[in-house]
Amino acid sequence: MNLEHINGLKTLLSLPKKIAIIPHKNPDGDAIGSTLALCQYLKNKGHEATVVAPNDFPKFLKWMPGAETILNFEKENSQAKSVLENAEVIFTLDFNHLGRVGQMTPFLESASATFVMVDHHQAPADYAKIMYSDVSMSSTCEMVYHLLDYLGAVEEITSDMANCIYTGIMTDTGSFKFKATTSTTHRIIADLIDKGAQNTAIHHRIYDTNSPSRLHLLGCALKNMVILEEYNTTYITLSQDELDKYNYSKGDTEGFVNYGLTLDNIRFAVIFIENKEEGILKISLRSVGDFSVNDFSRQFFHGGGHTNAAGGKSDLSIPETTKYFESLLPQFKKELTQ
Ligand code: 5GP
Ligand code: MN
């Protein structure tokens, strides 16, 4: 974050403000952790701050300190709208273009507030007056820690905030194993533990909360896995009928896409998940090495993200989408196999 933006933020926050803090649609651990930690900090400084999420988030994140105060734009619509309308400052965290907030998009586009972006995805849009965008960062939660450092507020991190920030760094780094995990990330993690982050409990609450139906759904997903050895690629499909059969609830498919990458030689793994209500397939894409799933998703599936982890969507059926997907692979054969 450059000095101009740091000073701009200091000035912006020098008097108590009405503030809305927004994570992306289908918020994950990083989105919820970063918004809650920042919200807590701003409240402690005397601001009136509220997290407004575009929609609901998974059960395995509901224990997070402050999670019960998050407004759900879909379910608490009038309250959420009034927070957005009255906000003097809007922080957008863990996303970087206004198309990522579902039905909230027009309300953010017409808001009169000053926007602040904190995000680590590629290709940021330019709606924010104050921008902290860094694609080298492991997570938005790590950026919130740096942001607090820039504001001279690291010693104001409470144990609740430390638990939130720890969670987001942990989930976005695949428990500290992805490439963006640096020695600085680990130093921050150490400091967060010193400040009260309950690391063992957090791992347990996020990863050891399987239900029998989720494990059965995982079995179904793995059975459906298609392996395209010629392209070092695998994909999984899950239809709405299959999700219904195994009592799908939000968050149940989290992490399924990663199983593909555990196969020897596989460099590209994708999952296509049908959502009948929205009339789309939600797509998650993962890679190892230089093959950019961000570019691939941006080009073919209306999405984006990071080099090795991205999302997207398709308006076609599962068979049409997988046929289209397979038809795209030959042009990337060299990249995927050399
Ligand atoms: P996931 O596959 O876990 O939903 O998302 C992987 C990464 O891609 C995350 O960083 C997420 O924020 C981003 N992402 C997911 N879906 C989309 C999308 O539709 N558009 C864009 N631009 N990014 C996405
Ligand atoms: Mn993130």
- The CATH number of the domain holding residue 112 is 3.90.1640.10
**Are 86 and 184 contained in the same domain?**
yes
Q: Is 302 exposed, middle or buried (0-12, 13-18, 19+ CB in 10 A)?
A: middle
User: Which pTM value belongs to this model?
Assistant: 0.96
Instruction: Show the tokens assigned to 281.
Output: 């397939």
Instruction: Show the tokens assigned to 287.
Output: 């890679």
pLDDT digits (tens, 9 = 90+) for 93-125: 999 999 999 999 999 999 999 999 999 999 999
Where is the domain boundary, 207, 239, 259?
A: 207
**Are 81 and 172 contained in the same domain?**
yes
* Spatial distance between the Cα atoms of 258 and 271, rounded to a whole number of angstroms: 9
pLDDT digits (tens, 9 = 90+) for 256-301: 999 999 999 999 999 999 999 999 999 999 999 999 999 999 999 9
* Spatial distance between the Cα atoms of 322 and 324, rounded to a whole number of angstroms: 5
Mean per-residue pLDDT of the chain? 97
312 lines ligand 1 (CB under 6 A): yes
Ligand 1, atom 8, residue with closest C-alpha: 310
- The CATH number of the domain holding residue 259 is 3.10.310.30
**Are 218 and 197 contained in the same domain?**
no
pLDDT at 338: 87
Ligand 1, atom 4, residue with closest C-alpha: 311
CA of 312 to the centre of ligand 1 (A): 7
Q: Are strands 268-275 and 280-287 parallel, antiparallel or unpaired?
A: antiparallel
| Torsion on CA atoms 164, 166, 171, 177, rounded to nearest 10 | 170
Where is the domain boundary, 165, 191, 207?
A: 207
**Are 235 and 193 contained in the same domain?**
no
141 lines ligand 1 (CB under 6 A): no
**Are 218 and 290 contained in the same domain?**
yes
**Are 28 and 171 contained in the same domain?**
yes
**Are 163 and 32 contained in the same domain?**
yes
**Mutation to probe ligand 1, out of 22, 24, 169, 287 (largest number of atoms < 8 A from CB):** 24
Query: Is the pLDDT at 158 greater than 90, yes or no?
Result: yes
**Are 180 and 52 contained in the same domain?**
yes
- Tally the domains of the chain: 2
The beta strand positions in the chain, using DSSP E, are: 18-22, 48-53, 71-72, 89-93, 114-119, 130-133, 226-228, 233-238, 268-275, 280-287, 304-305, 309-314
Residue numbers of the domain that contains 239 = 212-337
Average pLDDT over residues 63-84: 98
Q: Are strands 309-314 and 71-72 parallel, antiparallel or unpaired?
A: unpaired
Ligand nearest to the CA of 258: 1
